[in-house]
């Protein structure tokens, strides 16, 4: 016992419950209970047994460092008591003893955690407001298997690591402690004493539900159970939906720079302000979903959220967790889905974060050829550890469960798949078969998709994967990775390369505009024009377009129109829809003042009408991932830079004809083949005057002729406006 007491005094004991709290003993040969408390701040302490008429019992100082004890006669029922402490500064407080309560984790919890199958660990790990034996407090659980000692420190104990050392749960590496009387909103960290050095250090809670606003880094105790959701109808409909056959038009948003408040120093909008400003805008524009660039907590604004430190905490920049819940709830009530970017590929090495968490490379690999990402200067998760995989799986399930998120766009999947991603030949280690595939990460991605789709039907998982890895969006049982959708990065780059060409040269690059159809159905693709394409000197979308201002706007309308006609779901990055001239800057608002000017208003109207057309025509979205939903009319007229094709719905008779003229030269009497006779209604013409175009077209309707063309029995003689796309439908 003397050795155990010394370890407690030195704050090195792996289980302070062996010394502290109530323990059976004997007093004059009769059963009794001895209570010990380590109170380094105390001058005097008394034990206050619960119950009417119970007399306070003075505690005896047994060690100069602050170990007190008292012995009470009797045994049997668990002793209920409080401690009255007079500290060195003259203050007197009463508190319950943390070392008088039973363990938080069951043996079954420990078993599942060791297996990597504790899929709802966020219900126990981290900090949770609890009621234990009728006493309110907070239960803390953290994984630090190589620590000599872990303590909870915070504003409630003067950040003194001696006050609340935790109990180790053995080989699992978990440490736990219930601290009574702590209110919600308390700030805290873990003070960790590593085995290989004498000095302890502080770490934020990996499972924290909230964190302080940077540059502060403490975790915050938050109870997420109080919010009352109103979106049950949305959640029920989502669970029974087929998202691959539904329209999906995504508006990608960086919440910190979509719109700011110039009257108040250019501050960010809060989550609740975003709900009142952003959502009506998205709804009016006809988008079906928002995609939020990472709102997980991060220390550096310039990382845009992709250097995450809080995998369970919405960033405090825009408000508390309940406000983000209200934002998502409001989205659902407005009929808007919410997709969030999620980053399991790497994490930053900020000292309060996951790096070197317990004095070892706990979450990453020790060897920099596996554990360090040279491109992002960050740490790579060790997917070979079941506890690390379990941590990341819990993060995904947490956002879907607690925040009702409708989809996860997984960032940088290519960097997960390849051991040599962005590395020189001497900077990586082959897998056990000598290849460059990251076998452990591949298994993690498969498990991630299996678990998400099993527990949350209707939720989308979207891979940002930039290589030709096969089967990214194919089921795991066929050898695929199991994602719902994959970003079509090749299409994006081909389109931007093509549209940046002077139209006079486009006839030499007709293959770029059509090449995507060679592989369009090998994956379930999302066509994206993302934030990555309007930063770092790449110029804004409108500024990429060649020619005079009129031609630039016309080309951008044609690009957007072709995007919506092409098979695949759709995604725009904010600002492109009204023709922002500047590159995106995360530190400032979008150029909303441009909407004073007619050309920008016209583009804005076109995108709104395009989204509405898209949702109104099943032919444009129902069959995005099979050849039965697409038919070429003509892709070979390179000389005039014209293409024409048909989109079909699940009912093949429901079709839309798309005709594109990618030069500024109007084409009169241009004939294309069509399969059906009769009149064809002009659903949308990107050259309409209301969009800022020259108002050339076909007077809203054109009658087919019984003249075979392009292998089809009928044909239309069309006026093709310059730099424009037509959508037509037999009526």
Distances (CA, A) of 630 to 260, 677, 678: 42, 19, 21
Q: Please tell me what DSSP assigns to residue 489.
A: H
Q: Are 598 and 604 in contact (CB under 8 A)?
A: no
Q: Who's near 708: CB < 8 A, 6+ residues apart?
A: 673, 714, 715
CA distance 74 to 33: 7
- Catalytic position from the list 252, 329, 411, 687: 411
Active-site residue, from 364, 464, 533, 577: 464
User: Catalytic residue at 651?
Assistant: no
Distance of CA 102 to the CA centre of its chain: 36
Task: Report, in this order, helix, strand and coil percent for the chain, each rounded to 5.
Answer: 30, 30, 40
What distance lies between CA 72 and its chain's CA centroid? 54
Classify strands 667-674 and 679-685 as parallel, antiparallel or unpaired.
unpaired
CB-based contact 58:70 (threshold 8 Å): yes
CA angle 550, 553, 559 (to 5 degrees): 135
Comparing C-alpha atoms, which of 33, 32, 5, 6 is closest to residue 18? 5
Vertex 408: Cα angle to 341 and 470 (nearest 5):
105
What's the full length of the chain, in residues?
Answer: 731
Residues 6 or more apart from 108 whose CB is under 8 A from it? none
| DSSP structural state of residue 244 | G
CB 253 within 8 A of CB 574: yes
Tell me the torsion sign for CA atoms 570, 571, 575, 579. negative
Tokens read off for 235: 């959640």
442 contacts: CB under 8 Å, gap ≥ 6: 416, 417, 481
Annotated active-site residue 411? The verdict is: yes
Three-state DSSP string of 322-386: HHHHHHHHHHHHCCCEEEEEECCCEECCCCCCCCCCCCCCCCECCCHHHHEECCCCEEEECCCCH
What Å distances lie between residue 101 and 81, 133, 139, 177, 621, CA to CA?
Answer: 11, 8, 11, 9, 58
- Is 186 in contact with 156 (CB distance < 8 Å)? yes
Active site amino acids: 411, 464
């Amino acid at each position: 016992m003397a050795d155990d007491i010394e370890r407690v005094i030195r704050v090195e004991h792996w289980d302070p419950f062996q010394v502290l709290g109530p323990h059976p003993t004997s007093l004059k040969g009769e059963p009794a209970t001895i209570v010990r408390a380590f109170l380094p701040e105390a001058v005097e302490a008394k034990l206050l047994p619960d119950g009417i008429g119970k007399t306070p019992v003075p505690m005896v100082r047994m060690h100069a460092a602050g170990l007190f004890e008292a012995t009470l006669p009797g045994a049997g029922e668990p002793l209920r008591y409080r401690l009255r402490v007079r500290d060195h500064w003259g203050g007197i407080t009463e508190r319950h003893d943390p070392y008088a309560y039973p363990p938080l984790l069951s043996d079954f919890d420990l078993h599942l955690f060791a297996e990597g199958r504790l899929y709802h660990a966020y219900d126990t790990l981290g900090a949770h407001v609890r009621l234990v034996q009728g006493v309110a407090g907070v239960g803390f659980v953290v994984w630090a298997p190589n620590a000599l000692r872990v303590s909870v420190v915070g504003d409630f104990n003067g950040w003194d690591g001696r006050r609340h050392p935790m109990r180790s749960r053995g080989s699992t590496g978990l440490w736990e402690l219930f601290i009574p009387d702590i209110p919600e909103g308390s700030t805290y960290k873990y003070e960790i004493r590593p085995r290989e050095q004498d000095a302890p250090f502080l770490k934020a809670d990996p499972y924290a539900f909230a964190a302080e606003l940077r540059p502060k880094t403490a975790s915050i105790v938050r109870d997420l159970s109080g919010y009352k959701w109103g979106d049950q109808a949305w959640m029920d409909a989502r669970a029974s939906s087929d998202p691959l056959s539904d329209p999906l038009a995504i508006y990608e948003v960086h919440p910190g720079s979509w719109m700011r408040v110039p009257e108040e120093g250019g501050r960010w909008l809060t989550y609740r302000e975003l709900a009142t400003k952003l959502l009506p805008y998205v709804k009016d524009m006809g988008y079906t979903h928002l995609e939020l660039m990472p709102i997980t907590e991060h220390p550096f604004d310039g990382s845009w959220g992709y250097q995450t430190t809080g995998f369970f905490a919405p960033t405090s920049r825009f408000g508390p967790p309940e406000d983000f819940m209200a934002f998502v709830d409001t989205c659902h009530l407005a009929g808007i889905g919410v997709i969030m970017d999620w980053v399991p590929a790497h994490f930053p090495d900020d000292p309060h974060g996951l790096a070197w968490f317990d004095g070892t490379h706990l979450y990453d690999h020790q060897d920099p050829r596996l554990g360090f990402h040279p491109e992002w200067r960050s740490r790579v998760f060790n997917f070979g550890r079941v506890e690390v995989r379990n941590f990341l799986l819990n993060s995904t399930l947490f956002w879907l469960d607690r925040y009702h998120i409708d989809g996860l766009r997984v960032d940088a999947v290519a960097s997960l798949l390849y051991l040599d991603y962005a590395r020189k030949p001497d900077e990586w280690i082959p897998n056990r078969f000598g290849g460059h595939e990251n076998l452990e990460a591949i298994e993690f991605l498969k498990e991630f998709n299996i678990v998400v789709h099993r527990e949350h039907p209707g939720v989308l998982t979207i891979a940002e994967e930039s290589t030709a890895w096969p089967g990214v969006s194919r089921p795991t049982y066929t050898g695929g990775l199991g994602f719902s959708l994959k970003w079509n990065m090749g299409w994006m780059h081909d389109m931007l390369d093509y549209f940046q060409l002077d139209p006079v040269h486009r006839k030499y690059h007709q293959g770029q505009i059509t090449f995507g159809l060679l592989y369009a159905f090998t994956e379930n693709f999302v066509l994206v024009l993302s934030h990555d394409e309007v930063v770092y000197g790449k110029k804004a979308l409108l500024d990429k377009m060649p020619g005079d201002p009129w031609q630039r706007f016309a080309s951008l309308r044609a690009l957007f129109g072709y995007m919506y006609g092409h098979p695949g779901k759709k995604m725009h990055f904010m600002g492109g829809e009204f023709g922002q001239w500047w590159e995106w800057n995360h530190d400032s608002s979008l150029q909303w003042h441009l909407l004073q000017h007619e050309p920008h208003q016209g583009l804005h109207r076109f995108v709104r009408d395009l989204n509405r057309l898209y949702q109104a025509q099943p032919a444009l979205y129902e069959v995005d991932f099979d050849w039965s939903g697409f038919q070429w009319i003509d892709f070979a007229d390179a000389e005039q830079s014209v293409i024409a094709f048909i989109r079909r719905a699940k009912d093949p008779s429901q079709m839309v004809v798309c005709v594109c003229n990618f030069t500024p030269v109007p084409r009169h009497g241009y004939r294309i083949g069509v399969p059906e006779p009769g009149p064809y209604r002009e659903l949308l013409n990107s050259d309409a005057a209301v969009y800022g175009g020259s108002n050339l077209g076909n007077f809203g309707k054109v009658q087919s002729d019984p003249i075979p063309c392009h292998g089809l029995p009928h044909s239309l003689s069309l006026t093709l406006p310059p730099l424009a796309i037509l959508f037509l439908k037999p009526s």
